Amino acid sequence: MSVVIRLAKMGRKGENRFRVVVKEKRSRRNGKPIETLGWYEKRVNSMNKKIDKARYDYWISKGAQPTPSVTQLLKS
């Protein structure tokens, strides 16, 4: 089983709200996740996010691969 850490889109049409989730690589974008690590909300003037860094590090140590968008999100 290949596991990835990626964004799952939530909210209404036109709103940029995402959950940071751990999922199997072949599953759907909005399918059931293994675990939810946090959330990310991009607004016009600001960016709100909350990610559980300890759980993120745990999944990385178990071999989960973050997507480029999640990697960039954690750098900022």
Q: How many domains does the chain have?
A: 1
Whether the pTM exceeds 0.75: the reply is yes
pLDDT-derived band at 1 (thresholds 50, 70, 90) equals low
Residue 19 lies in a domain: yes
Domain CATH number, residue 56? 3.30.1320.10
CA neighbor of 20 nearest in space, from 61, 75, 71 = 71
Q: What is the pLDDT of residue 57?
A: 95
**What is the mean pLDDT of the segment spanning 57-75?**
93
Residue range 11-55, pLDDT digits in tens: 888 778 899 999 998 887 777 899 999 999 887 666 788 999 999
Q: Which two tokens stand for residue 25?
A: 């690589």
Which structural domain range is residue 55 located in?
3-67
What three-state secondary structure class fits 76? Answer: coil
H-helix segments, 10-67: 53-61
